[in-house]
Structure 1
Amino acid sequence: MVAQKFVVDLNKPLVFQVGHLGEAYDDWVHDPIVSKEGPRFFQSGFLELFTRTAWWVIPTVWVPVASWFISNSVKSGLPSLDVALLVFLGIFVWTLAEYTLHRFLFHVKTKSYWGNTLHYLLHGCHHKHPMDSYRLVFPPVAAAILALPIWNLVKLICTPSVAPAVFGGILLGYVMYDCTHYYLHHGQPKSDVPKSLKKYHLNHHYRLQNYGFGITSPLWDKVFGTVPPPQSKGDAKRR
């Protein structure tokens, strides 16, 4: 007797359904539904509230936090130029963290019930509904959970006066990343650089999800060999 495949009912809350897909989850989640209306995640209205975040919440919450960290390095007596350089170092470090998180955490392969469920909440929902504007940026609570181990690592590596400036730069890099990510999906760029970034990122969503993990820059894709191969004529015809 052949086991019947589980079918997700898009008219019902999705989070506790997707785990039942098992090995079929990866194919399902990378078959996007292009609609500006996002799905319902939970039956509970209270839980549902925490899954929706407007893009402007990100700079509103995190720029003051980053500024506070940077100010601690200033108060410790570091020269302004040194603080500025450390902030830029933090922004650069973020670009590597952005790539690493996107490639190895956000695109981890899962097939268990809870693995699928957690992946869907973390990043799968964005690939399934890439135009859902309220599930595109990271909710502050989720971002704080990811930021905590990064802060602990920075404190371990850096001196007490240096660590806050570096971490503040990492937070500013994160803000730039999430706002850029939102713009690449919902903005209409006119100049060449943002046009190129938009094309690069949408290629990751709609053609080759295992390539093109950089959002703000393809730098680390070039370093680690994950730049998407050019589209062949055969690919274009099939599309």
Structure 2
Amino acid sequence: MDHASSARDLSASPRLFDNPLLDMLSRVDPRVPVIVYGPIVVTMLIWALWHGAGVATVVASFVAGYFIWTLVEYLGHRFLFHLEFPGSFGARLHFLMHGVHHDYPSDPLRLVMPVLMSGPIMALALLVTWAAFPQAMQVPVLAGFIAGYIVYDRVHFLLHHSRSQNPTFLRLKRLHMLHHFTDKTRCYGVAAPWWDNVFRTQWRKPSSQQ
């Protein structure tokens, strides 16, 4: 089954809400982040260059924005998505935020964020970027941040559904599957595994296996 057909297979995507509209909104085609945010990133880079930002400034700012995203990706996955909220409402909230992905890791329509979730993240990133960076860097930094999100969502989908034998891809896939099926307190960096090394949450064999 190819990626497009698997993404349309509702039998592989369990119902989360009784309300049909809410349930529909909880699903998203994995191509949506590229379609929605890809043109925005390109437009922002062209805008920055057109308005006088030097190529070196744009490139450096874009790379900085990308690495900022990777840190947000790691911290969000580790401290927000895996946060256990108290009570039955908290348990339901955790399930909807991330628990469903661990219970149904190959659900093809819940491997990338709906725009209703990613949009506020990008809006907050805009506010922080405008407050933290000089004017010449603001637009390309935000473009790099959004590009990092696109890469993250695309990589995450492929880790669950691609059969690529590329060595780098297979390493990322192994680490992500270890997070899912062996130890969910390790390997939080989906597309950015270096942060696990920085924060010492990289994969370690249980002592009984050493």
TM-score, scaled to structure 2: 0.89
Unaligned stretches of 5+ in structure 2? 1-10
Q: CA shift at 1:82, angstroms? A: 1.7
SS at match of 1:162: helix
| Structure 1 position 90 matched with structure 2 position 65 | yes
Out of 112, 131, 134, the residue aligned to residue 137 of structure 1 is 112
Distance 1:234 1:220, change over 3 A: closer
- 1:118 Cα deviation after fit: 2.1
Q: What corresponds to 1:174 in structure 2?
A: 149
Post-superposition Cα deviations, 1:82-122, rounded to whole Å, max 9, x if no partner, equal 21221111111111111111111111122223322222222
Counterparts of 2:201 and 2:141, CA distance in 1: 27
User: How far has the Cα of 1:194 moved from its partner?
Assistant: 0.7
Runs of 4+ in structure 1 off by over 4 angstroms are: 231-235
1:38, CA displacement in angstroms? 2.1
Deviation at 1:54, TM superposition (A): 1.1
Please tell me the root mean square deviation across aligned C-alpha atoms, in Å. 1.7
User: What is the CA-CA distance between 1:57 and the residue it aligns to?
Assistant: 0.9
TM-fit CA distance, 1:205: 0.3
Does the aligned pair in 2 maintain the 1:52–1:139 contact within 8 Å?
yes
| Equivalent in the alignment of 1:81 | 56
Match of 2:179 among 198, 204, 217: 204
Measure the CA separation in 1 of the matches of 2:62 and 2:42: 10
Partner of 2:94: 119
Matches within 5 A, 1:28-177: 37-177=12-152
TM-score by length of 1: 0.79
Paired residues of 1:181 and 1:216 also in contact (CA < 8 A)? yes
Flag the structure with larger Rg: 1
- What SS is found at the alignment partner of 2:136? coil
Q: How many residues align?
A: 200
- Write the mapping of 1:221-232 to structure 2, written as runs, cut at 5 A: 221-231=196-206
Tell whether 2:163 aligns with 1:188. Answer: yes
What is the CA distance between 1:231 and its match in structure 2? 4.9
Question: Which digits, 9 at most, give the CA deviation of each residue in 1:189-238, with x for residues without a partner?
Answer: 21211111101000000010011100113201000110121256659xxx
Answer whether contact 2:62 2:143 (CA < 8 A) is retained. yes
Q: Which runs of 5+ in 1 are unaligned?
A: 1-35
